[in-house]
Amino acid sequence: MSNMLNKQQMAEILFELLERTAFHREQMENYVNRLFEPFKSDGVPYVETGKDTYIVRIYERGLVSLEKRIKQSDEVIYWLLEDIIFTATHVELMERHGVDNKQTHLNDSNEVMKDLNRGVQEAFQKIGDPYLYWHMTSKRQELEQIQSTKER
């Protein structure tokens, strides 16, 4: 019997975890629902379920720029949380600073970066472990690291 989660189950877990944060439900629905969209936005992790592994792909300009196979559901949930929380925090900062990311952009000043990091950290603190620990130990970098041919 497989312990693999389908996309609907992943979405339910993500909503449950994200409800612990200060983000609005409507805002989170947009990010979680990306799991079900056929269009693949740049830089966003998308998940497919194989027989006994998850296939996570990140696209750039319509092409796969990174593909990873992951066996643990919690690691996939974490990777999606990292993306959603970072994106939501970034969007909140854009709104606070009155920028649209098309004609005006956030200045990557130390103050803005501190606010961004603080917002992401606060969200993970509300969610708790193991995701907080993974966030603090930069597990996302490990997950997004390109595998050598020997590892595949």
CB 55 within 8 A of CB 67: yes
Distances, alpha carbon 118 to alpha carbons 46, 89, 90, in Å: 26, 9, 11
The pTM of the full predicted model, rounded to 2 decimals, is 0.85
Whole-number percent of the chain with pLDDT over 70: 94
pLDDT > 70? residue 31: yes
Binned at pLDDT 50, 70 and 90, residue 149 comes out as very low
Specify burial of residue 129 (Cβ count, 10 A radius: 0-12, 13-18, 19+).
exposed
CB atoms closer than 10 angstroms to residue 147: 11
DSSP H or E stretch at residue 117: helix 110-127
What tens digit of pLDDT does each residue of 95-129 get? 888 888 888 888 888 998 999 999 999 999 999 99
pLDDT > 80? residue 150: no
